[in-house]
Amino acid sequence: MPQIHALITGGAGFIGSHLAESLLNAGQKVTVLDDLSTGRYSNLAQLEGREGFRLIIDTVLNDALSEELIRESDRVYHLASAVGVKLILEQPVRTIETIFRGTDVVLRHCTRFRKRVLIASTSEVYGKGTTVPFREDDDVLTGATCRHRWAYSCAKALDEFLALAHWRETRLPVVIARLFNTVGPRQVGQYGMVVPRFVEAALAGAPLTVYGDGQQTRCFCHVLDVVEALQNILEIPGCLGKVINLGSDEEVSINRLATTIIELLNSPSRIRHVPFEEAYGEGFEDMLRRVPDLERPRQLLGYSPKRDLKTIILDLAADLNSKRTAMVPS
Ligand SMILES: NC(=O)c1ccc[n+]([C@@H]2O[C@H](COP(=O)([O-])OP(=O)(O)OC[C@H]3O[C@@H](n4cnc5c(N)ncnc54)[C@H](O)[C@@H]3O)[C@@H](O)[C@H]2O)c1
């Protein structure tokens, strides 16, 4: 069988770098296109020099370059995006432009050259819906357009509409992966991701800051469970033209998450509660629960996450610890 050549946009990011490694290990050629806006070279440093690996530092909005890279690849994994609640609130224009224009560029060229493409979407698309677990075909409920938090959700939803429109009109072989909270090594707390933020604080003995009353729940999935699914998803014809939830359905409150991290890491840290408004500004809206229905990925992919919350926390702590050790001058 000829060697498959995969293009990963956003491949220097947290999930993309694990995917790049996994595809290379499976014998594929991998090109990463990333502008390093939230991604880091260090995520891929161990892959540089490996046969079949190439990193291009540029933006997916560079239409001519994206066209060339898509033309020469067999599979496209489109992960490039503005991410993180903090960044989205601080840079709303960039958020919308990167998400929507980037996906438009990718889908247009994939349609033209008939390439299989995965679009990374998000559970944020479900918005403020309260009926959990969320199923892919459920109605969605977002907030007012004056609340920038929802720009991410709506831009990603528009990506989904566009991808499904290409599937409908020309049978573009596209899959939309709606990712729920994904966590693991290489993720950083800097953009507002809760688990790395808590683990970093616990390792430093600093307070773990819980926004709101902490009774809101989330489900956290190990990045390697997600990557395994992403790697298979484009190879299964039944997945094409579909939106597919990926994540964990093990629900935990943010308070419970904080105490689990403190206990597991034997940390002297305390928990401190801060109102959402103080963290994200007036009028910030959050949702109480966010749980995926995993029936579709189970049926189509045989998907079931294998790693639990404890493994996630310990893997993340080991990764952060190794970076802290590496930074200590000899
Ligand atoms: N991590 C999660 O919990 C989660 C949940 C839902 C959805 N997602 C989606 O998964 C994808 C990957 O997210 P992640 O968590 O790895 O975040 P990340 O920030 O680590 O990765 C995003 C990558 O995209 C790159 N990028 C941004 N704009 C770009 C541009 N214009 N051109 C090229 N590269 C660009 C960034 O530099 C970064 O490397 C995103 O599409 C995100 O929306 C992630």
DSSP bridge pairs for 242: 175
Q: What is the CATH number of the domain that holds 93?
A: 3.40.50.720
Within 8 A by CB and 6+ apart from 322, the residues are none
Q: Which pLDDT belongs to residue 327?
A: 57
Give the span between the Cα atoms of 284 and 271, in whole angstroms: 21
**287-300 confidence digits (pLDDT tens):** 789 999 999 999 99
**45-87 confidence digits (pLDDT tens):** 999 999 999 999 999 999 999 999 999 999 999 999 999 877 8
**219-265 confidence digits (pLDDT tens):** 999 999 999 999 999 999 999 999 999 999 999 999 999 999 999 99
Nearest CA residue ID for atom 7, ligand 1: 122
Q: Report CA(16)–ligand 1 centroid distance (Å).
A: 8
Q: The domain containing residue 172 runs over which residues?
A: 5-183+223-249+289-306
Within-domain flag for 168: yes
Q: Which pLDDT belongs to residue 279?
A: 74
Within-domain flag for 322: no
Q: What is the mean pLDDT of residues 96-117?
A: 98
**174-189 confidence digits (pLDDT tens):** 999 999 999 999 998 7
Q: Give the predicted TM-score (pTM) of the model.
A: 0.95
Task: Count how many domains the chain has.
Answer: 1
Q: Answer yes or no: is pLDDT of 218 > 80.
A: yes
Q: Which residues line ligand 1 (CB under 6 A)?
A: 9-10, 12-16, 33-39, 59-61, 79-81, 83, 98, 102, 120, 122, 179, 181-182
Within-domain flag for 74: yes
Q: What is the mean pLDDT of residues 1-20?
A: 96
Nearest CA residue ID for atom 12, ligand 1: 79
Q: In this prediction, what percent of the chain has a pLDDT beyond 70?
A: 97
Give the span between the Cα atoms of 34 and 84, in whole angstroms: 17
Q: Report CA(170)–ligand 1 centroid distance (Å).
A: 27
